[in-house]
Structure 1
């Protein structure tokens, strides 16, 4: 795949067996000469208030998602997602990300 335009699904996995949320996106992917790829896109539909709160929470916790393309049951590529003010998403392949993140919750 040198160039792909279509839909994909971002999945935020808490661990190997628990996917906390999935978001459909419209995406354009290009592959560089060394095989790494970058994508740009937008949410396929406008997020409602609850979805937006969940998205913002997950992005703040850790902006790494798995991305799944049509026909995939589960995302196989890990990407770091950056959201611009206008809602544009930039996705950068993150092959070295090991899935670990340190999060502290204040429950007081």
Structure 2
């Protein structure tokens, strides 16, 4: 993938068999000359109060999600997610050993 603009999913996995929650996001991914990618986006739909509470809880527990792109192999890439006050999400590919075990 050279880059991506569109909708993807952030999935929070408790373990290899249990996906706790899935969030659709609108995303822009840019990849530099050495293959490092950076992504920024936002929730595709505004979160209601219950969804916001769940999102905040998961972010506080562990801000590592699997990002799944449409029409890809669905294996996901482990990313660290940071949300700014304006709701912008910044995703960074996680280093080996970060976050939970990949699915």
The TM-score, its normalising length taken from structure 2, stands at: 0.90
Q: Is the contact between residue 64 and residue 99 of structure 2 (CA under 8 Å) also seen in structure 1?
A: no
**Which portions of structure 1, spanning 4 or more consecutive aligned residues, are displaced by more than 3 angstroms?**
72-75
State the superposition RMSD in angstroms.
Answer: 1.5
Q: Is the contact between residue 62 and residue 99 of structure 2 (CA under 8 Å) also seen in structure 1?
A: no
In 1: Cα distance, 2:94 partner to 2:55 partner: 19
Matched residue SS, 2:46: coil
Larger Rg: 1
Count of residue correspondences:
100
Q: Is the contact between residue 80 and residue 91 of structure 2 (CA under 8 Å) also seen in structure 1?
A: yes
In 2: Cα distance, 1:9 partner to 1:71 partner: 12
- The one of the two structures with greater contact order (alpha-carbon pairs below 8 A, sep at least 6) is 2
Q: CA distance change for structure 1 residues 15 and 4 in 2, over 3 Å: closer, same or farther?
A: same
1:88 matched residue in structure 2 = 88
Q: Is the contact between residue 12 and residue 19 of structure 1 (CA under 8 Å) also seen in structure 2?
A: yes
Q: What runs of 5+ residues in structure 2 fail to find an aligned partner?
A: none
Q: What runs of 5+ residues in structure 1 fail to find an aligned partner?
A: 101-108
